[in-house]
Amino acid sequence: MTQQGCGSGSCGCGGAAEPTPSVPSAVASGPDASDQIPLARVNGVPLHGAGESPDPEALRQRAYSELLRQAAQRAGLLAAGDLPALDGVLSEAASQAIEALLARELQLPAADDAACRRFYAAHATRYSLGERTLASHILFAVTPGVDVDALRRRAESLLVSLRCGSNEDFARTAADQSNCPSGAEGGALGWLGREDCAPEFAAALFAQDEANAHVGVLPRLISTRFGFHIVRVDAREPGVQQPFEAVRGAIAQTLAQQAYVTALRQYLNLLAGAAQIDGLALEGADSPLLQ
């Protein structure tokens, strides 16, 4: 087996993310409005049309976008006349204003040489050239309306039994239960490099900690945007480790991105803590978290 990933682009083993579905707008009205699904709102601004029930993750993303849009207006970076959209798509002016807001509000520490060296020491194998893994997987896809907790429990239960089973057991289970086209081949993905996989799949598959460096069924599920994966590693080929000087720039970019994500999460939590949120749960803080 020499193919790289399933080729479908829908399971995370080597494809692109699925597009976010659009949601048509609507307005609650009429005598049956009280029977409609309650509207989720941010400071009174609805995030979807009456009777619609967006995916919870999509709804959270809309809420965070709306928090930022309103913050940009309060900061004078966006005209008060800019109107929200029920499909969650920001106007071009709002997008630009939010970029300006974040550039002003997020305090990002620079990654110094010592921090880069510590990261390199802890993740040196990440910067190996030519590292490959021969792997198979069983995908439990997260689809709209699915009970994610129940799906995870089902996958974890099956993981326990497969760790004690044979390769033939794994292949039969993949053929019967995997939501990836590779199930027809017993879940086989062939030889994979980091560049062949979705980032979160690669991060777990090529992790070299105690839990993942071995050959066999990995002891933990790999969670990606596509669902939960039970993964079996049949062989590993180590790559050639690059010297620190060759990868310092890449490490600095990684640390900068991590700092940005952390600062953005803290800022969003601060905005959520000061807002009136109805119809969904967001993390919130009532005091500044940025350092």
- The continuous run of DSSP H or E covering 57 comes out as helix 56-74
Same domain flag for 139 and 211: yes
Query: Distance between CA 198 and CA 201 in Å, rounded?
Result: 5
> Residue 205: which pLDDT band, with cuts at 50, 70 and 90?
confident
Q: What is the pLDDT of residues 171-190, one digit of tens each?
A: 999 999 999 999 999 999 99
Q: Return contacts of 168-177, CB within 8 angstroms, 24+ apart.
A: 170/136, 170/138, 170/217, 170/232, 171/136, 173/138, 174/136, 174/137, 174/138, 177/138, 177/140
Residue 182 included in any domain: yes
Considering the domain architecture, whether residues 268 and 160 belong to the same structural domain is answered as no
Same domain, 52 and 139: no
Q: Tokens 């749960």 appear where?
A: 281
* Co-location of 232 and 176 in the same domain: yes
Residue 103 lies in a domain: yes
What domain range is 183 assigned to? 117-241
- Bridge partner list, 278: 41
Give just the sign of the alpha carbon dihedral 252, 255, 261, 262. Answer: negative
pLDDT at residue 6 in the model? 61
CB 222 within 8 A of CB 228: yes
Please say whether the beta carbons of 6 and 180 come within 8 A: yes
- Would 97 be classed as within a structural domain? yes
Whether residue 89 is contained in a domain is answered as yes
Amino acid occupying residue 229: H
| Dist. CA 55–CA 120, nearest whole Å | 38
Residue 17 placed within a domain:
no
Tell whether 67 is covered by a domain: yes
| Residue 75 and residue 178 in one domain | no
95 plus 155 within the same structural domain: no
251 Cβ partners below 8 Å, 6+ apart?
Answer: 111, 116, 119, 120, 127
Number of Cβ within a 10 Å radius of residue 167: 14
229 and 142 in a common domain: yes
Give the tens place of pLDDT for each residue, 110-165. 889 999 999 998 887 777 777 889 999 999 999 888 899 999 999 999 999 899 88
Residue 232 has pLDDT above 90, yes or no: yes
| Structural tokens at position 131 | 């590292």
Nearest to 182 by CA among 231, 124, 225: 231
Question: What is the structure's pLDDT at 230?
Answer: 96
Task: Report how many domains make up the chain.
Answer: 2
Is residue 235 in a domain? yes
Contacts of 20 (CB under 8 A, 6+ apart): 58
Give dist(CA 189, CA 51) in Å, integer.
41
Is 186 found in the same domain as 90?
no
Shared-domain flag, residues 236 and 168 = yes
pTM (2 decimals)? 0.56
- Do the beta carbons of residue 277 and residue 38 sit within 8 Å? no
Residue 220: count other Cβ atoms within 10 Å of its Cβ: 12
Q: Both 75 and 127 in a single domain?
A: no
Going by their DSSP bridges, the two strands 128-129 and 240-241 should be labelled as antiparallel
98 and 203 share one domain = no
Yes or no: say if 279 and 264 are a contact pair by the CB < 8 Å rule: no
Rg (CA), the chain: 23
Q: What is the CATH number of the domain that holds 219?
A: 3.10.50.40
197 or 87, higher pLDDT: 197
Separation of alpha carbons 156 and 214, rounded Å: 19
Residues 115, 244: Cα–Cα separation, whole Å: 12
Q: What is the pLDDT of residue 22?
A: 37
Please report whether residue 32 resides in a domain: no
Mean pLDDT, the chain, as a whole number?
82
What is the predicted pLDDT for the residue at 275? 94
DSSP class of residue 259?
H
Residues 89 and 138 in one domain: no
